[in-house]
Amino acid sequence: MTSPIHKRALITGASSGIGRATALAFAASGIDIALVSRHEQRLEAVAQAARTFGVEATAFPLDLSKVEQVHSQIDSIVAAFGPIDILVNNAGMGYTGDLINTSLADWQRVIDLNLTSVFQCVKGVLPGMRDQKSGTIINVVSIAGVQAFPNWGAYCVSKFGLMALSKTLALEERSNGIRVTALCPGSVNTPIWDSETVQADFDRTAMLTPEIVAESILHVALLPSTAVIEELTLMPSVGTF
């Protein structure tokens, strides 16, 4: 499938998992991509793979956890890469631990990356989208943005906040021709389960694959401008673990 109108997308967390799969799905559909992640070598490898589809794919190494810098750096990416038609906010971190034992530093770290960095990325692309009277913003939330789980408190709070950000943004920007989608996947087999901040023992073979989630993101991105999926829950057929 090819995009009927040439589009340019910015994808965060693009060096692995859902972000990588989305980058390759977009490239296969003829969408130029600006790729953001703090892992420079892995990011460039994804860009190289995307270019085999004949699209423009550029790696922009950026640490989104440094939230005070994100807005200006996204501004710089837009200036270098060109106007953004599609923003996929996928970067995030997992975190497990009961609330009573969650330190303020850990709490802030989760909120900064999972919520505040998204706010900053949105601020970076929104003026250009308003100028062109069109744009699609897809926030990869989580089932944890609509359902609370014990021992995932900081993570759930960050994702519930991201859901609220998505819904508010959709209402504020609808009149400007900008569509906002909150995508809420259940468990996805990504490197998040290998990270030092997550302690969980789930059957990863029963999870969604990044490629399945990427297919949904691509579908949302390529909807006709007269339609929008405002919220999409995508679950493994076995349900939540």
114, 144 in Cβ contact below 8 A?
Answer: no
Exposed/middle/buried for residue 214 (C-beta within 10 Å: 0-12, 13-18, 19+): buried
Catalytic residue among 81, 152, 155, 160: 155
Give bridge partners of residue 32 from the DSSP assignment. Answer: 8
Nearest to 137 by CA among 106, 178, 175, 168: 178
Tokens of 60: 């922009």
Provide the angle, in degrees to the nearest 10, between the axes of the packed helices 67-81 and 117-132. 30
Active site residue 95: no
Tokens of 166: 């998505």
**Cα dihedral angle (60, 62, 68, 74), rounded to 10 degrees?**
20
Q: Catalytic positions, please?
A: 155
